[in-house]
Amino acid sequence: MCGIVGHLGPKNSVDVVLEGLKRLEYRGYDSAGVSFISSSNDLMMYKKKGKIENLINEIKDKDISARSCIGHTRWATHGGVTDNNAHPHICEEMGIAMVHNGIIENAGELREFLTKEGIQFKSETDSETFLGLLIYHVRNGKNIKDAVIESFKKIHGFSAFVVLNKETSEIFSIKKGAPLVCGMNEVNSEVLVSSDPYALAGIADKIYFPEDEVLCHLSAANSNLLNFYELDGTKSKRYMSKKQSMTHDPAAKGDFEHYMLKEIYEQPELIRSLTQFYFQGEGKESLEAAVDLPRKNLHISACGTAYYAGLVIKDFFEQINRIPCRPEIASEFRYRNPILDKEDLALFISQSGETADTLAAQELCKKSGLKSLSIVNTEGSTLYRDCDVNLLIRAGVEIGVASTKAFTQQVLTGRTLSAVIQNKGMDDNLRNTLSQKYTLLAERIEELLDRSDEIKAVAGEIYRNKGFFYTGRGVYYPIALEGALKLKEIAYVHAEGYAAGELKHGPIALIDEEKVNVALVGPELYEKTVSNIQEIKARKGKIVTIGPEGKKDLEEISDYYIPINFDGLEELSPLYINVVNQLLAYHIAKFLGTDIDKPRNLAKSVTVE
Ligand code: M6R
């Protein structure tokens, strides 16, 4: 959730770290800070609550240059959002600074012990107990490397730590169950560490993914910039390395006002490139490998939007392949002692590949002997590394906290797998059929994007309303859930997704003229869904219908009717109805003036449970 960046090299490290933090601000944005060794060899620290801009304003007029720096953007867990609780935490006397991502579960106990040992705390955070442990071990004669190892051994829970040592300008990092990546640019003698490879794009040309409990040592020694150690101090080979393929385009938002809007508009192009990837490109192999996996039952685990994508995918696998599916929210699945059979397949869906609950669900399945498959965006992420087979969704970096393009790509990847399984492999016939469908889907979405002003006009009529019910039946039900999630997270409006037939079992009590029903209507169960809308209309609810075009009854019953062309593509229609929901949420949020790309209280990547 928090973003971490560390840099060591001849460039001004503070600039590199601030640039990295700006890129990671979408991960967490309660406060930000940096610590570095100044040219006069002092350990310096600046930290500020609020957006990273506050930190930049604080230091912009200072003449700062450093060869080694660590930085952090915080998403508060323990302790309020204050300057003091922001990271880094430092001990000037010993020349040590540290940043942390995760939760130290035994922080209370450690704090008590360390306080008795005379160590004073300056913040309310769990993170500072790690600094306390470092101080304790250094005081007791350990060198910094051993102090990091010994302190890390005392920590319970999932965390990543980065430590800066003034004496040698070295940086150490170590993690368990939290994302961490190192990067190197040998030509420039630069070495970096981060919670996200995106921070390193365009700087490091090689990236390294250490496994859990591997100590990474970033040093200024030209011939020895990056080393990995086991906890017993011996050299480690437990890391994966690859060329950095991610690029960073600073003008990535282009003419769009928000990343979210840009990402919504990217969808048609991404669908086309996914088609290319799986039908003609490198994706073929992983698709074939996925087809070969056992699948007596399919357990689908994910969180948030990725879970809703899983619900749509479930429908494909049950209706097309007749494979029994058990979709479950990962945070529930992991603690439920689920019934797992070695012949079953575990499917994990995630944009980041770093969601703590999804990773824990994967670990549980792995321990139970199940093969695991991911539908994932981030190549090299923990989920990607831990699963037996990975189907990449190729959505590119998704910056907007509200997931949009990832959902579409996840669903389509699942649809592709389901089709290939049904066809017992990919052949020209299937390739052509699917290519045609996906091309048509991309065109349909383009048509909807061209109607953004029409959707904006509807948003302008309803944005003041007090409560939204998104309803749908069958495969539109998960789309209703996803539509409601989009609205609540970016517009801060109370919204719920419901199966249309379920409203009368309780929630209908809430309906009055202040409430809006966004009714998703498909060709299936058409009349029954229209009856459900009638029930809301009779209670004076405002009706926004997204449904088949040319329907007189829908026009009459609706306050606002957004007609959709379903012809020839009913099966993939949830995906374009979802695009209407994305635009509706976006425009409502825009009218309400919220922070669309970085909505309050959220973080892009939820790496704590
Ligand atoms: O990175 P993941 O796909 O695993 O993330 C899962 C959820 O945290 C994520 O989809 C979240 O619900 C989004 N903010 C929704 O827009």
pLDDT for 250: 58
As beta bridge partners, residue 347 has 300, 373
Identify the weakest region by mean pLDDT among 151-160, 213-222, 551-560, 588-597: 213-222
Q: pLDDT tens digits, residue range 507-546?
A: 899 999 999 999 999 988 899 999 999 999 999 999 999 9
- What's the rounded Cα separation, in Å, for the pair 299 and 319? 16
Q: Which residue has the higher pLDDT, 607 or 511?
A: 511
Contact 203, 250 (CB under 8 A): no
Catalytic residue selected from 22, 371, 542, 604? 604
Whether 410 lines ligand 1, by a CB cut-off of 6 Å, is no
Kindly tell me if the per-residue pLDDT of 249 is higher than 70.
no
Can you tell me which atom of ligand 1 is nearest the CA of 351? Answer: 3
Whether 508 lines ligand 1, by a CB cut-off of 6 Å, is no
Kindly tell me if the per-residue pLDDT of 251 is higher than 60.
no
Can you tell me which atom of ligand 1 is nearest the CA of 604? Answer: 14
Whether 582 lines ligand 1, by a CB cut-off of 6 Å, is no
Produce one character per residue of 160-194: b if its CB has 16 or more CB atoms within 10 Å, e if not.
bbbbbbbebbbbbbbbbbbbbbbbbbeeebbbbbb
Active site residue 387: no
- What's the rounded Cα separation, in Å, for the pair 587 and 459? 6
- Mean pLDDT score, 119-137: 96
What rounded mean pLDDT belongs to the chain? 94
Helix or strand or coil: residue 165?
Answer: strand
- Mean pLDDT score, 99-112: 95
Tokens of 260: 């979210």
What band does 51 get if pLDDT is binned at 50, 70 and 90?
confident
Q: pLDDT tens digits, residue range 309-353?
A: 999 999 999 999 999 999 999 999 988 899 999 999 999 999 999
Quickly list DSSP for 330-348. HHHHTTS-----TTSEEEE
Helix or strand or coil: residue 178?
Answer: coil
Vertex 20: Cα angle to 17 and 23 (nearest 5) = 155
Sign of CA dihedral 447, 452, 453, 454: positive
Whether 545 lines ligand 1, by a CB cut-off of 6 Å, is no
Whether 489 lines ligand 1, by a CB cut-off of 6 Å, is yes
pLDDT for 248: 66
Can you tell me which atom of ligand 1 is nearest the CA of 383? Answer: 4
Active site residue 2: yes
Domains of the chain: 3-243 (3.60.20.10), 259-446 (3.40.50.10490), 452-592 (3.40.50.10490)
Q: pLDDT tens digits, residue range 465-507?
A: 999 999 999 999 999 999 999 999 999 999 999 999 998 899 8
Angle between helices 107-116 and 128-139 (to 10 degrees): 40
Whether 484 lines ligand 1, by a CB cut-off of 6 Å, is no
406 Cα: distance to centroid of ligand 1 (angstroms):
9
For ligand 1, atom 11, name the residue with the nearest CA. Answer: 304
- What's the rounded Cα separation, in Å, for the pair 309 and 411? 6
pTM, entire model: 0.85
Query: For the purposes of burial, counting CB atoms within 10 Å of the CB of 526, is it exposed (0-12), middle (13-18) or buried (19 or more)?
Result: middle
Q: pLDDT tens digits, residue range 383-432?
A: 999 999 999 999 998 999 999 999 999 999 999 999 999 999 999 999 99
pLDDT for 366: 95
Contact 128, 72 (CB under 8 A): no
